[in-house]
Amino acid sequence: MVVGKKLAKESLLPSVLEDDDAEMESERTQLGGIGSRPPSRPRKAFSRGSVDIQTVTRSGSGRHSSPEGEVSDRGERKEEKEEEGSGGGGCDGDTQERGKECVITASDEDYDTDLELGDVREAYDPTGQTRYREACRMYNVVPVSYFLRQMGNTELTMMHHGLGPQGTKALAVSLVTNTSLLKLNLRDNWMEGTGGAAMAEMLKENCYITEVDLGENRLGECGAQALSSMLMENTTLVSLGLSGNELADRAAQHLAQTLTSNTKLETLDLSHNTIGDAAGQVLGHAIAENTGLKSLSLAWNCIRGKGVVALAKGLGDNIFLRTLDLSYNGLGKDGAVALGEALKDNNTLEDLNISNNRIPPEGAIRFTMGLKVNKTIKKLNMGRNPIQTAGCYGVLKAIQGNPESAMECLDFSDITVNQDFEDLYVALTDIFPNIRVKHGGRIDTFRKPKA
């Protein structure tokens, strides 16, 4: 009886030992794969014909597999466990050790995926939207949704958005790499000098933007100095608007120094500032030396006296400027006389605006001395000056005596004229059929009857 039990025990012992050996070998295989290095490509294991992903997921670990799995070949069962360890499809949550195996296997699969995508580079963003969002987080400002929608266009008009210095910095960061925008209008956004400096740094790097309007942003001397430095390096900007930025003489002097060397900028708007005589003298020298500017606006400033004389002298030496706006300054008689002398030498200016400059009738008569010889002026605006009918009549008479005059439009707004002026205008149209005159109306005066 004892011998029989002993034989039965010995007969069962090999199978039990074989099962234990198989489990230990499977666990060693799994632990060895985890401890040594991550599997090279887990996805290849799922491509074997003997193991299916759904089968591995259903079967789970060997302890909870189907009865068929218990009586099947142990080598096949071992292969299933290897697949479970490498692919993570049969995780068993009953034991903490197997849970760790599943987590590690999942991270290994992600690791392989990252390696496979390592050669794929992130797509380049020509608009700079990603950089703009990151910059907004860095400067602690709210992204402007309108800017995000429009920054892919060729023109962007974003006035009165209240960007402030920090918002302007964030916007400038994104515009450094923007290749779409060509024209940028950011008037009235309260940039101040800090924001103006940020825009200047952006324009040093951006080689696509050609027109920028930064009017009414309180840039001051700091912003003007930064933009002047930018103009020394930028070679693509052709139009710059700086009206209404509280630019005084020192700020204008920085810009004047730049104009002597910059040959790319064609349009500059410095209107509605506080530029005075000192800056006018420096700007006069810059105008004489500049070889690229075609349009300059100094309207609504404080230039008078010596400043006007210096500007006029620079205009006489300039051979590139086409449009000059000096309206709403204080030219007076001396300024009008100086401009008249400049028109004798200048042969490129086509549009001159000297309206509302306190020019008296005598100053207008002296100014017409230049019109008698000038061959390029097409449009002249002298409206809202106290030149009276005598001054208007003198301008028409000078043009009548210059057969090579190119005059097409005369503006005498808010200045009343008499019948003599009307008669001369009719006679002038016979010589220059295309000329047009605007005035403030005709006044009736006593006239002697003709014999």
Nearby residues of 33 by Cβ (< 8 Å), 6 or more positions away: 39, 82, 85, 86
CB neighbours of 158 closer than 8 A, spacing ≥ 6? Answer: 144, 146, 147, 150, 185, 186, 189
How would you write 120-158 as a 3-class SS string? CCCCCCCCCHHHHHHHHHHHCCCCCHHHHHHCCCCEEEC
Q: Which amino acid is present at 329? A: N
- Predicted local distance difference test score (pLDDT) of residue 242: 98
Q: What is the DSSP string of 258-319?
A: HHTT--S--EEE--SS---HHHHHHHHHHHHH-SS--EEE--SS--BTHHHHHHHHHHHH-S
The structure's pTM equals 0.72
CA 383 to each of CA 297, 356, 403: distance values in angstroms, whole numbers, following the listed order: 17, 6, 24
Cα–Cα separations (whole angstroms), residue 193 to 160, 275, 299: 17, 17, 22
Query: Residue 79: what are its φ and ψ, rounded to 5°?
Result: -65, -35
* Cα(397)–Cα(97) distance, integer angstroms: 107
Query: Mutual orientation of helices 2-36 and 74-87 as an angle, nearest 10°?
Result: 30
Query: pLDDT tens string for the chain (451 positions)?
Result: 444 444 344 444 444 444 445 444 544 444 444 344 444 434 433 333 333 333 333 334 343 434 344 444 444 444 444 444 444 444 444 444 444 444 433 334 443 333 333 343 445 676 788 899 999 999 999 999 999 999 889 999 999 999 999 999 999 999 999 999 999 999 999 999 999 999 999 999 999 999 999 999 999 999 999 999 999 999 999 999 999 999 999 999 999 999 999 999 999 999 999 999 999 999 999 999 999 999 999 999 999 989 999 999 999 999 999 999 999 999 999 999 999 999 999 999 999 999 999 999 999 999 999 999 999 999 999 999 999 999 999 999 999 999 999 999 999 999 999 999 999 999 999 999 999 999 999 876 545 555 5
Q: Which of 211, 286, 214, 212 is nearest to 243 (CA)?
A: 214
Q: Provide DSSP, 327-361.
A: -SSB-HHHHHHHHHHHHHH--S--EEE--SS---H
Pairing of strands 267-269, 155-157: unpaired
List the one residue out of 340, 412, 348 whose CA is nearest residue 375.
Answer: 348
CA dist 374 and 133 (Å) reads: 56
- The angle at the Cα of 326, spanning 317 to 232, to the nearest 5 degrees, equals 60
* pLDDT for res 118: 39
Neighbour count for residue 120 (Cβ, 10 Å): 7
Report residue 261 as tokens: 């060397």
In 3D space, the residue among 94, 68, 64 whose CA is nearest the CA of residue 81 turns out to be: 64
- Considering the domain 134-439 in this protein, what is its CATH number? 3.80.10.10
- Domain borders along the chain are 2-116, 134-439
Distance CA 88, CA 83 (A): 8
Q: Kindly write down the DSSP assignment for every residue of 236-252, as one continuous string.
A: S--EEE-TTS---HHHH
* Confidence (pLDDT) at 108: 41
Neighbours of 341 (CB within 10 A): 18
Residue 309: what pLDDT? 94
